[in-house]
């Protein structure tokens, strides 16, 4: 079999068949009629194009990061897995096929070459509240710090004054980033919008387009941003505003969310369910050290100290850690949270809370068990489950009737840089991307024991 796409599909059907079978079973009972249309976007050159799908579709979540403009090997694996899972299930649904033959493989291959079309729709959930160099792999790192934006949420960062750190490039050429990618980044810094998240999406979609041509798979799947873009576009009383309000409704509501996220409010109150931003623009959850203040059992305020702190190391040099520089104190009265208006009190809610509003019916995680922790997944599943049971967020309309399926890229089989062994290498560092796909793409169902809310 000479076609690398056919090899990839056949390997996926062999190594990841359990994911396909579980998703097909879910589709047989799936009814998304109760929700409305879902809005996404793609970047076509420098232009953002809005796309909509009706709620009858089954949405499969992948992701990319705003913590770096270059597309990484980790990110593209998740997108390829999403397209393989989507195409195989869209093809097999309703067909009584026991054995996949060459003609079946060829038809699935043709589906992969085209944009997603079918009942299952893959999409990117891109979290815009992260620091712009969260994982110490951003080639703009020096100017991000000098511009005072290293502790800003990505949604607030502007590209004016940002430039490639050539010391970073000299150190990590071939391991984290390539010359072609630096040229692409510098090109778009000149003509892209001043909004950093738009710039990142422009670069990543351009890299996805190039990779699509190499692999013969259309990887330009639609995206949406959460939570800050959603909050900015909502008015008070919107869904995410209500999630923030209801999370802080009273002591029992806060205690329940704490329990779902594996915390005990009686012992510590340092988990901020939403992290207030500083008047100076700081919003880094890593650099925010805060506490919820209660008088007896009455929620009074949130107090936060923003201080300079290291972020997370890259996989090439664990000692080369980016810094989020911040110094400011914030105090927000409970009333500004109980009656929430993002335009007046900007803040970043915890992932488990805002992900409850993501339209996903299934999610793909990247190497949980080695490259990612189970705690975030468990918190997400627990909060989503409680939301669907209406024990929390009672005033927020539900988006579904069951907890999304969870799939995981199997850590030991994830694609890594052939020389450096890292998953955070940019795809430009991989000279033979087709050859890497010959290893196959291994995904497995992720069964998560939720925390109970009672």
Per-domain residue ranges of the chain? 4-131+214-229+353-445, 141-201, 242-350
Six token digits for residue 239: 């869904």
pLDDT tens, position by position, 247-289:
999 999 999 999 999 999 999 999 999 999 999 999 999 999 9
pLDDT at position 26: 94
The answer to whether 218 touches 115, Cβ cutoff 8 Å, is yes
pLDDT average, residue stretch 61-87: 98
pLDDT in tens, 416-449: 999 999 999 999 999 999 888 888 999 999 999 9
The pLDDT value recorded for residue 192 is 80
What does pLDDT average to over the chain?
Answer: 94
Taking residues 222-242, what's their average pLDDT?
A: 97
Confidence label for 453 from pLDDT (cuts 50, 70 and 90):
confident
Per-residue pLDDT at 361 exceeds 70: yes
- In the predicted model, what is the mean pLDDT of residues 132-152? 98
Q: Please say if the pLDDT value at position 72 is more than 50.
A: yes
Cα distance between the two ends of the chain:
55
Contact (CB, 8 A) for 239 and 233 = no
* 31-57 pLDDT tens trace: 866 678 899 999 999 999 999 999 889
């Amino acid at each position: 079999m000479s076609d690398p796409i056919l090899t990839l599909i056949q390997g996926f059907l062999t190594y990841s068949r359990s994911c396909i079978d579980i998703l097909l079973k879910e589709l047989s009972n799936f009814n998304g009629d109760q929700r409305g249309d879902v809005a996404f976007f793609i970047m076509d050159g420098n232009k953002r194009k809005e796309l909509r799908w009706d709620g009858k579709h089954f949405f499969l979540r992948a992701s990319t990061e705003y913590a770096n403009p270059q597309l990484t090997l980790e990110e593209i694996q998740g997108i390829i897995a999403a397209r393989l899972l989507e195409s195989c299930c869209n093809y097999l649904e309703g067909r009584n096929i026991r054995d996949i033959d060459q003609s079946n493989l060829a038809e699935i291959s043709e589906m992969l070459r085209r944009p997603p079309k079918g009942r299952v729709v893959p999409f990117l959930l891109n979290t815009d509240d992260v620091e712009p160099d969260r994982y110490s792999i951003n080639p703009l790192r020096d100017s991000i710090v000098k511009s005072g934006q290293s502790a800003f949420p990505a949604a607030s960062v502007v590209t004016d004054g940002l430039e490639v750190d050539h010391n970073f490039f000299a150190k990590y050429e071939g391991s984290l980033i390539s010359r072609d990618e630096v040229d692409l980044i510098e090109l778009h810094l000149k003509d892209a919008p001043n909004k950093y998240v738009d710039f990142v999406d422009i670069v990543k979609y351009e890299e996805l387009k190039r990779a699509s041509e190499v692999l013969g798979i259309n990887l330009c799947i639609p995206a949406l941003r959460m939570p800050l873009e959603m909050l900015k576009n909502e008015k008070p009383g919107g869904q995410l505003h209500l999630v923030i309000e209801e999370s802080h409704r009273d002591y029992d509501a806060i205690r329940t969310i704490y329990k779902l996220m594996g915390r005990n409010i009686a012992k510590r109150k340092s988990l901020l369910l939403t992290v207030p931003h500083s008047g100076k623009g700081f919003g880094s959850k890593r650099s925010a050290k805060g506490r919820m203040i209660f008088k007896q059992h009455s929620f009074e305020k949130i107090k936060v100290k923003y201080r300079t702190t290291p972020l997370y190391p890259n996989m090439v040099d664990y000692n080369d850690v980016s810094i989020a520089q911040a110094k400011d104190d914030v105090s927000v009265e409970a009333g500004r949270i109980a009656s929430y208006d993002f335009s007046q009190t900007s803040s970043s809610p915890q992932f488990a809370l805002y992900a409850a509003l993501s339209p996903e019916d299934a999610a793909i995680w990247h190497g949980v068990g080695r490259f990612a922790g189970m705690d975030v997944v468990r918190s997400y599943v627990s909060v989503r489950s409680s939301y669907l049971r209406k024990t929390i967020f009672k005033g927020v309309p539900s988006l579904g009737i069951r907890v999304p399926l969870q799939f995981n890229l199997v850590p030991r089989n994830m694609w890594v840089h052939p020389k450096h062994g890292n998953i955070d290498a940019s795809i430009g560092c991989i000279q033979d991307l087709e050859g890497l796909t010959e290893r196959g793409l291994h995904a497995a169902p992720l069964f998560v024991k939720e925390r109970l809310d009672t």
